[in-house]
Structure 1
């Protein structure tokens, strides 16, 4: 995949702990358009992380992202929080696994903390195309990101700074949506789990519930499984809490990789037999339905055994 070599045009640190960057070509050339809800993968020194795009999606001349500083993380956010205007930044082109469903009667956007970022581009799309939208956003006092954007893009947003108030309003909101509404959730893993559980309890079918998680820390350790390597005839046990990529590397197999979060596409391997539990945000729905590819850094066998063309 072609890398885009960009520069930092501007930096906004007005929200404590959150840095908003504007990235652009040095010559101001138009960047690839993207679907609302898309992310880019930013090469942050020795690591690579995915960050949601919050700006205009049609023929953009700049990409905008907002990054929460995580002092105990792998280093990507610290790298971004050390950037200065004019610094070079390399990114992979936009991809989306969290696009709005065009046929939805209403879009219910529920976010917590920095999980608001993909919702901003959803809101831009809804306003542009006149789609019905409802927003619930929970954040810590004084640490709400993109509040100005939300206010400018919709008058149907409810902002919460207390979890108890949010949880009190959530059941009523879920129960009052019209038939054909779709729910989109983004935020910390426990927040997503709580909202999805509440939606299921209120009768929402899984086909109308969409959520986005970034990072392997948001995934459960998974069940152990056996992987057979078709070319060599050997087999490897992949333990719970160990990725397929890590298991292959431990047995001397070199697999190209970059993000180790299921977003960049570098560690794609060909599956010749077995069912895959897809956990990535790179493969398309058609790719996943075909069943012949796996992102080794996050995805696993769905039924105890896989065979790879390796």
Structure 2
């Protein structure tokens, strides 16, 4: 897997609890371009995590990410907030995206909560560059909104909320009044995503026009599902709140892993048959046809794996 060694060339702590880093090559050369909605995986001691890229997408000199400090998390955000300073070096994987804007969309409706605004910033940049119709609804805690000034400079069609009731009052009629061919993109905490997706479904939106991006590790426990391994014949049940990766490891099967959050691509396993509920941030649509990420994705009913 291709990686980049990047230097911290900018640190912005103006929004409480959110640290924004600017990362550049040590020789200050051009970095790989990326699709709007892309993330970059940054490694830290014992793991890795994905952070949405918010800067320029084409031939950038810097990658910009914003990281919410999560004291009870796996440690990546604590490391970024407490240990990284100007001049620190980090190892990052090249950008990937499972949350790109659909070019044929009539309109792009962006709905974000908290740090879930980060992938939307590159969506807004793209929409402005290409003259696409875009709307944004953004709810955040008072004094904790990220990129507010930048959003205002990128679009005249953004609505900001610090009150849940006011947000929901705006959300439902907004979902109901979009022109045919609009696609909606949702990012934020799991419950927020579930609520917005449910509201969109109630308003008649087809699943093909609803796109979501979960935070790494911020996933519901999911329902139990059965697994059969085609090579060994081993059959078992993966319980709610237990990952396929954990179940495979407990039964003596060795699966390479790193991040445990569906962002690094290490724990990919081949799928022979069954319905997969993909919850990763790594695999492309084509790759999802016959593989899954064992650390976060689940089955619906019964899966047969080529293991």
Aligned to 1:306: 304
Post-superposition CA distance 1:126-159 (Å, at most 9, x none): 0000001111111111110001110110111111
Aligned to 2:242: 242
Q: Distance in 2 between matches of 1:245 and 1:31?
A: 33
Aligned to 1:76: 76
Q: Distance in 2 between matches of 1:200 and 1:274?
A: 25
Q: 5 Å matches for 1:1-310?
A: 1-82=1-82, 83-228=84-229, 230=231, 232-289=232-289, 292-309=290-307
Q: Distance in 1 between matches of 2:275 and 2:152?
A: 45
Post-superposition CA distance 1:275-296 (Å, at most 9, x none): 433222211111223xx21211
Deviation at 1:203, TM superposition (A): 1.4
> Residue 229 of structure 1 contacts residue 235 of structure 1 at CA under 8 Å; is this kept in 2?
no
How many pairs were matched up?
306
> Residue 19 of structure 1 contacts residue 67 of structure 1 at CA under 8 Å; is this kept in 2?
yes
Return closer, same or farther for 1:202/1:7 CA change in 2, 3 Å cut-off.
Answer: same
Q: Distance in 1 between matches of 2:164 and 2:274?
A: 42
Deviation at 1:210, TM superposition (A): 0.9
> Residue 10 of structure 2 contacts residue 21 of structure 2 at CA under 8 Å; is this kept in 1?
yes
Q: Distance in 2 between matches of 1:195 and 1:217?
A: 16
Structure 2 counterpart SS, 1:96: coil
CA RMSD of aligned residues (A): 1.5
Structure 1 counterpart SS, 2:265: coil
Give 5+ residue unaligned stretches, structure 2: none
Give 5+ residue unaligned stretches, structure 1: none
> Residue 38 of structure 2 contacts residue 52 of structure 2 at CA under 8 Å; is this kept in 1?
yes
TM-score, structure 2 as length reference: 0.95
Post-superposition CA distance 1:19-50 (Å, at most 9, x none): 00001111011111110000011112212111
Deviation at 1:206, TM superposition (A): 1.3
TM-score, structure 1 as length reference: 0.94
> Residue 227 of structure 1 contacts residue 238 of structure 1 at CA under 8 Å; is this kept in 2?
no
> Residue 225 of structure 2 contacts residue 301 of structure 2 at CA under 8 Å; is this kept in 1?
no
Q: Distance in 1 between matches of 2:108 and 2:28?
A: 33
Structure 2 counterpart SS, 1:119: helix
Deviation at 1:254, TM superposition (A): 2.3
Instruction: Give runs of ≥4 in structure 1 deviating > 4 Å.
Output: none
Deviation at 1:168, TM superposition (A): 1.1
Q: Distance in 2 between matches of 1:169 and 1:221?
A: 30
Structure 1 counterpart SS, 2:94: strand
